[in-house]
Chain A
Amino acid sequence: AQSVTQLGSHVSVSEGALVLLRCNYSSSVPPYLFWYVQYPNQGLQLLLKYTSAATLVKGINGFEAEFKKSETSFHLTKPSAHMSDAAEYFCAVSDKTSYDKVIFGPGTSLSVIP
């Protein structure tokens, strides 16, 4: 069965610093992978997704993630944090061998310090 782990339930970075949010997955086959963001008091929206094309995926708001099969990872990065990036970030996996079930990780809360 597929699963997702996110290292660090809470991450704090200074404004302008690198953002790195970690995601590791477990799946019997190379899955589809997603990052969703939830801003305060808002619904979830897609940041980016990996669907077996390029391993480096670029998303909205300057975020990108790299699929590394050997490490079963899909870490999210942004070179320079902005105050508006403060939010909850969820990594998710969809197992292509079954129907379109999407399993979410526990989430990482990102704080940006001025």
Chain B
Amino acid sequence: GAGVSQSPSNKVTEKGKDVELRCDPISGHTALYWYRQSLGQGLEFLIYFQGNSAPDKSGLPSDRFSAERTGGSVSTLTIQRTQQEDSAVYLCASTSGNSGNTIYFGEGSWLTVV
């Protein structure tokens, strides 16, 4: 597609439920990132994909968080047993993978856990 597409744009879920957030990167982009932006906070790195593999998962805050990428394209971020502190905007970004290239962000998925 023309840009990075994320869905859902907004999600309200009850505490303890699982949620899946989807990211469709720019066509041909081999590198994909997930970041989290909490209210009034900066961007917290979660995970990086190169192709289908994730060489850096160091930012995932707990084992309730997981992500996968299939076909070198779409990625899904899953949060199990959601907690109120998981409420944030989850941003996906992609780039061609060459160091120094611009990364392009999606509009984000706004997650609210009640």
Give how many A-B residue pairs fall within 8 Å (CB-CB). 59
B99 and A94 form a contact (CB under 8 A) = yes
Chain B interface category by residue count: 20 to 34
Q: Which of A17-25, A62-70, A73-81, A99-107 contacts B (4 or more CB under 8 A)?
A: A99-107
A49 and B102 form a contact (CB under 8 A) = yes
Question: Taking A32-B99, A94-B99, A99-B99 as contacts, is the C-beta distance between A104 and B42 under 8 angstroms?
Answer: yes
A107 and B42 form a contact (CB under 8 A) = yes
A32 and B100 form a contact (CB under 8 A) = yes
Partner of B107, one of A43, A102, A105, A107: A43
B45 and A100 form a contact (CB under 8 A) = no
A96 and B48 form a contact (CB under 8 A) = no
Residues on B with beta carbons closer than 8 Å to the beta carbon of A32: 99-100
Sorted nearest first, the 9 A-B pairs with minimum C-beta distance are: A106-B42, A104-B43, A32-B100, A51-B100, A44-B105, A107-B42, A43-B107, A43-B105, A100-B99
